Structure 1
Amino acid sequence: MTKPLVELTSAVIEALPAQLGVYEIVDDTGTTVKIGYAGGNEPFGMRTALVRELGPDRETEHALRFRHELTHGYLTRSQELLMIYQADHGQLPSGNARHEGTLGRLSPLPEAGGN
Protein backbone atom coordinates (compact mmCIF):
# COMPACT_ATOMS: atom_id res chain seq x y z
CA MET A 1 0.00 0.00 0.00
CA THR A 2 1.26 3.45 -0.77
CA LYS A 3 -1.25 5.79 0.88
CA PRO A 4 0.10 7.92 3.72
CA LEU A 5 -0.44 6.66 7.25
CA VAL A 6 -3.07 8.42 9.38
CA GLU A 7 -3.87 8.24 13.08
CA LEU A 8 -6.17 5.38 14.09
CA THR A 9 -8.82 7.34 15.97
CA SER A 10 -12.59 7.18 16.18
CA ALA A 11 -12.93 10.56 14.46
CA VAL A 12 -10.83 9.46 11.47
CA ILE A 13 -12.71 6.16 11.22
CA GLU A 14 -16.11 7.90 11.25
CA ALA A 15 -15.05 9.97 8.23
CA LEU A 16 -14.28 6.87 6.14
CA PRO A 17 -16.76 5.60 3.56
CA ALA A 18 -18.72 2.48 4.47
CA GLN A 19 -17.04 0.41 1.76
CA LEU A 20 -15.11 -2.84 1.44
CA GLY A 21 -11.33 -2.91 1.35
CA VAL A 22 -8.03 -3.72 3.00
CA TYR A 23 -6.03 -1.96 5.69
CA GLU A 24 -2.58 -1.98 7.26
CA ILE A 25 -2.03 -1.10 10.92
CA VAL A 26 1.37 0.23 11.96
CA ASP A 27 2.76 0.74 15.49
CA ASP A 28 4.68 3.73 16.83
CA THR A 29 7.99 2.33 15.50
CA GLY A 30 6.66 2.05 11.94
CA THR A 31 6.37 -1.74 12.10
CA THR A 32 3.35 -3.30 10.41
CA VAL A 33 1.42 -5.16 13.10
CA LYS A 34 -1.56 -6.29 11.04
CA ILE A 35 -2.89 -6.44 7.51
CA GLY A 36 -6.64 -6.94 7.50
CA TYR A 37 -9.74 -6.51 5.43
CA ALA A 38 -13.26 -5.18 5.69
CA GLY A 39 -15.41 -7.80 4.01
CA GLY A 40 -19.03 -8.39 3.18
CA ASN A 41 -19.89 -9.34 6.77
CA GLU A 42 -18.95 -5.88 8.06
CA PRO A 43 -22.18 -3.84 8.29
CA PHE A 44 -20.37 -0.55 7.62
CA GLY A 45 -17.35 -1.90 5.77
CA MET A 46 -14.03 -0.28 6.61
CA ARG A 47 -15.55 1.64 9.53
CA THR A 48 -16.73 -1.54 11.28
CA ALA A 49 -13.41 -3.35 10.78
CA LEU A 50 -11.31 -0.47 12.10
CA VAL A 51 -13.59 0.21 15.08
CA ARG A 52 -12.99 -3.44 16.03
CA GLU A 53 -9.23 -2.76 15.91
CA LEU A 54 -9.75 -0.01 18.50
CA GLY A 55 -11.97 -2.15 20.75
CA PRO A 56 -11.09 -4.07 23.92
CA ASP A 57 -10.79 -7.39 22.03
CA ARG A 58 -8.35 -6.07 19.47
CA GLU A 59 -5.47 -8.27 18.36
CA THR A 60 -2.91 -5.45 18.31
CA GLU A 61 -1.95 -3.53 21.45
CA HIS A 62 -0.02 -0.60 19.97
CA ALA A 63 -2.06 0.20 16.87
CA LEU A 64 -1.49 3.87 16.28
CA ARG A 65 -1.63 4.55 12.54
CA PHE A 66 -3.21 2.93 9.50
CA ARG A 67 -3.70 3.18 5.76
CA HIS A 68 -6.34 1.59 3.59
CA GLU A 69 -7.42 0.76 0.05
CA LEU A 70 -11.04 0.45 -1.00
CA THR A 71 -11.60 -2.60 -3.20
CA HIS A 72 -14.25 -5.21 -3.88
CA GLY A 73 -11.41 -7.74 -4.25
CA TYR A 74 -10.57 -7.40 -0.54
CA LEU A 75 -9.82 -11.08 0.14
CA THR A 76 -7.46 -11.50 -2.82
CA ARG A 77 -5.78 -8.15 -2.12
CA SER A 78 -5.29 -8.92 1.59
CA GLN A 79 -3.68 -12.26 0.73
CA GLU A 80 -1.47 -10.54 -1.84
CA LEU A 81 -0.36 -7.95 0.73
CA LEU A 82 0.38 -10.69 3.28
CA MET A 83 2.46 -12.64 0.75
CA ILE A 84 4.40 -9.49 -0.20
CA TYR A 85 5.05 -8.75 3.47
CA GLN A 86 6.17 -12.33 4.10
CA ALA A 87 8.49 -12.25 1.07
CA ASP A 88 10.02 -8.94 2.20
CA HIS A 89 10.34 -9.73 5.93
CA GLY A 90 10.50 -13.53 6.17
CA GLN A 91 7.46 -13.66 8.45
CA LEU A 92 3.94 -12.30 8.77
CA PRO A 93 2.96 -9.29 10.88
CA SER A 94 2.32 -10.27 14.52
CA GLY A 95 -1.43 -9.63 14.16
CA ASN A 96 -1.61 -12.10 11.27
CA ALA A 97 0.02 -15.11 12.97
CA ARG A 98 -3.12 -17.21 12.37
CA HIS A 99 -2.36 -17.10 8.62
CA GLU A 100 1.03 -18.78 9.10
CA GLY A 101 1.29 -21.70 6.69
CA THR A 102 -1.96 -20.87 4.86
CA LEU A 103 -0.57 -18.52 2.22
CA GLY A 104 1.20 -19.24 -1.01
CA ARG A 105 4.67 -17.86 -1.61
CA LEU A 106 5.72 -15.19 -4.04
CA SER A 107 8.72 -16.08 -6.14
CA PRO A 108 10.83 -13.62 -8.12
CA LEU A 109 10.36 -13.37 -11.85
CA PRO A 110 13.13 -14.97 -13.91
CA GLU A 111 15.63 -12.48 -15.27
CA ALA A 112 15.14 -11.38 -18.86
CA GLY A 113 16.99 -13.68 -21.23
CA GLY A 114 17.67 -16.23 -18.49
CA ASN A 115 16.50 -19.84 -18.44
Structure 2
Amino acid sequence: MSIRLRLDKPWRPLTAEEIARLPGQLGIYQVADAAGTLLYIGQAGARAPFGLRSELQRELAERGPDHKFRVEVNQQYRTRWFELLMVHQADHGGLPPDNAKNPPPNLGRLSPS
Protein backbone atom coordinates (compact mmCIF):
# COMPACT_ATOMS: atom_id res chain seq x y z
CA MET A 1 0.00 0.00 0.00
CA SER A 2 1.42 3.36 -0.99
CA ILE A 3 0.89 6.54 0.98
CA ARG A 4 -0.35 9.54 -0.99
CA LEU A 5 1.35 12.72 0.06
CA ARG A 6 -0.20 14.99 -2.54
CA LEU A 7 -3.85 15.97 -2.53
CA ASP A 8 -5.13 14.75 -5.89
CA LYS A 9 -8.88 15.00 -5.58
CA PRO A 10 -10.72 16.75 -8.41
CA TRP A 11 -11.13 20.50 -8.31
CA ARG A 12 -14.60 21.90 -7.62
CA PRO A 13 -15.85 25.41 -8.41
CA LEU A 14 -15.67 27.77 -5.43
CA THR A 15 -19.38 28.59 -5.30
CA ALA A 16 -21.93 28.85 -2.50
CA GLU A 17 -23.74 25.80 -3.89
CA GLU A 18 -20.62 23.60 -3.84
CA ILE A 19 -19.62 24.82 -0.39
CA ALA A 20 -23.10 24.04 0.98
CA ARG A 21 -22.52 20.38 0.08
CA LEU A 22 -19.45 20.14 2.32
CA PRO A 23 -19.53 18.45 5.70
CA GLY A 24 -19.05 20.54 8.80
CA GLN A 25 -15.90 18.57 9.57
CA LEU A 26 -12.26 19.33 10.24
CA GLY A 27 -9.75 19.01 7.45
CA ILE A 28 -7.56 20.73 4.92
CA TYR A 29 -8.31 22.46 1.65
CA GLN A 30 -6.60 23.95 -1.37
CA VAL A 31 -7.71 26.97 -3.41
CA ALA A 32 -6.62 27.58 -7.01
CA ASP A 33 -7.35 30.25 -9.57
CA ALA A 34 -9.46 29.56 -12.68
CA ALA A 35 -6.36 28.32 -14.54
CA GLY A 36 -5.65 25.76 -11.82
CA THR A 37 -2.66 27.50 -10.22
CA LEU A 38 -2.57 26.60 -6.54
CA LEU A 39 -2.83 29.78 -4.48
CA TYR A 40 -3.38 28.59 -0.93
CA ILE A 41 -3.35 25.52 1.28
CA GLY A 42 -5.55 26.00 4.34
CA GLN A 43 -6.85 24.17 7.35
CA ALA A 44 -10.28 24.01 8.91
CA GLY A 45 -9.61 23.44 12.57
CA ALA A 46 -11.44 23.43 15.85
CA ARG A 47 -12.01 27.20 15.75
CA ALA A 48 -13.98 27.05 12.49
CA PRO A 49 -17.64 26.82 13.60
CA PHE A 50 -18.63 24.54 10.72
CA GLY A 51 -15.21 23.25 9.74
CA LEU A 52 -14.48 23.08 6.02
CA ARG A 53 -17.77 24.75 5.15
CA SER A 54 -16.97 27.83 7.26
CA GLU A 55 -13.44 28.20 5.93
CA LEU A 56 -14.49 27.92 2.30
CA GLN A 57 -17.36 30.36 2.78
CA ARG A 58 -14.74 32.82 4.06
CA GLU A 59 -12.48 32.05 1.07
CA LEU A 60 -15.36 32.69 -1.34
CA ALA A 61 -16.20 36.01 0.36
CA GLU A 62 -12.55 37.13 0.18
CA ARG A 63 -11.64 35.82 -3.27
CA GLY A 64 -14.91 36.02 -5.17
CA PRO A 65 -15.85 33.78 -8.09
CA ASP A 66 -13.53 32.17 -10.64
CA HIS A 67 -11.64 30.01 -8.17
CA LYS A 68 -11.55 26.28 -7.48
CA PHE A 69 -11.13 24.21 -4.34
CA ARG A 70 -10.64 20.69 -3.11
CA VAL A 71 -10.84 19.28 0.40
CA GLU A 72 -9.75 16.37 2.53
CA VAL A 73 -11.59 15.55 5.74
CA ASN A 74 -8.86 14.83 8.27
CA GLN A 75 -8.90 14.88 12.07
CA GLN A 76 -5.13 15.42 12.04
CA TYR A 77 -5.62 18.59 10.00
CA ARG A 78 -2.64 20.51 11.37
CA THR A 79 -0.15 17.72 10.67
CA ARG A 80 -1.63 17.18 7.21
CA TRP A 81 -1.52 20.94 6.53
CA PHE A 82 2.19 21.05 7.34
CA GLU A 83 2.75 17.96 5.20
CA LEU A 84 1.03 19.47 2.15
CA LEU A 85 2.96 22.72 2.56
CA MET A 86 6.26 20.82 2.74
CA VAL A 87 5.39 18.72 -0.32
CA HIS A 88 4.50 21.86 -2.30
CA GLN A 89 7.74 23.49 -1.21
CA ALA A 90 9.73 20.42 -2.30
CA ASP A 91 7.90 20.17 -5.64
CA HIS A 92 7.93 23.89 -6.54
CA GLY A 93 10.79 25.45 -4.58
CA GLY A 94 8.48 27.53 -2.39
CA LEU A 95 5.11 27.83 -0.76
CA PRO A 96 1.89 28.71 -2.61
CA PRO A 97 1.73 32.52 -3.04
CA ASP A 98 -0.87 33.19 -0.36
CA ASN A 99 0.87 30.91 2.18
CA ALA A 100 4.21 32.59 1.44
CA LYS A 101 2.77 35.90 2.71
CA ASN A 102 2.46 34.42 6.20
CA PRO A 103 4.45 31.17 6.38
CA PRO A 104 4.04 28.86 9.35
CA PRO A 105 7.01 28.89 11.74
CA ASN A 106 9.48 26.03 11.76
CA LEU A 107 8.23 24.33 8.61
CA GLY A 108 10.37 21.27 8.01
CA ARG A 109 11.49 19.77 4.72
CA LEU A 110 10.33 16.67 2.91
CA SER A 111 11.90 14.87 -0.03
CA PRO A 112 8.90 13.14 -1.60
CA SER A 113 9.43 10.88 -4.56
TM-score bracket for the superposition, by shorter chain length: 0.7 to 0.9
Aligned ranges 1:1-115 → 2 under 5 Å: 1-55=7-61, 58=62, 64-97=67-100, 98-99=102-103, 102-107=106-111
Work out the CA distance in 1 between the residues paired with 2:64 and 2:35: 13
How many correspondences in the alignment? Answer: 106
Where in structure 2 are there 5+ consecutive unaligned residues? 1-6
Where in structure 1 are there 5+ consecutive unaligned residues? 110-115
How much identity, in percent, do the aligned residues show?
A: 48
Q: Secondary structure at the match of 2:91?
A: helix
Deviations 1:3-47 (A, max 9, x none): 100000011101111000000111122110000010000010000
Which segments of structure 1 move beyond 4 Å, counting only runs of 4 or more? 60-63
Work out the CA distance in 1 between the residues paired with 2:107 and 2:64: 24
**What RMSD, in angstroms, separates the aligned Cα atoms of the two structures?**
1.9
Work out the CA distance in 2 between the residues paired with 1:90 and 1:96: 13
TM (normalized to structure 1)?
A: 0.84
Rg larger in structure: 1
